[in-house]
Amino acid sequence: MDAPALAEVDVETARQLRGDIARAVHHGKECGEVEADLDPWPAAVRLTAVTEGLAMQVYRDPAGVNGVPADELSASVIAAELAAVFTGECRQYTAPADA
């Protein structure tokens, strides 16, 4: 970006987004949705990069591939990426074994 003020806003927005995603991954670790040894920051960078890349794909070619619209393809890719990070089930929503 050529405008320094806009570039600064873009950088800060990206930092906040990564931070929000890293927090979500950390919370997922606490409740059992995410493996205990997964580092939230690389996961956040990966999820952010995939999402931003997919947004560009939808913008550039909304028609998609082989008759499947880009937004549908993107949703399936995002679902797969999230499933790779959030591999477990949150204990908050599961009934105790003795109930």
The residue extents of the domains of the chain are: 35-87
- What mean pLDDT comes out for the span 39-64? 95
Provide the pLDDT confidence category of residue 1 given band limits of 50, 70 and 90.
low
The model's pTM is: 0.83
Q: CA 97 to CA 75: how far, in whole Å?
A: 34
pLDDT at 45: 97
Whether the pLDDT of residue 63 is over 80: the answer is yes
Whether the pLDDT of residue 95 is over 60: the answer is yes
pLDDT at 2: 83
For 64-93, the DSSP string reads -BTTB-HHHHHHHHHHHHHHHH--S--GGG
pLDDT at 99: 54
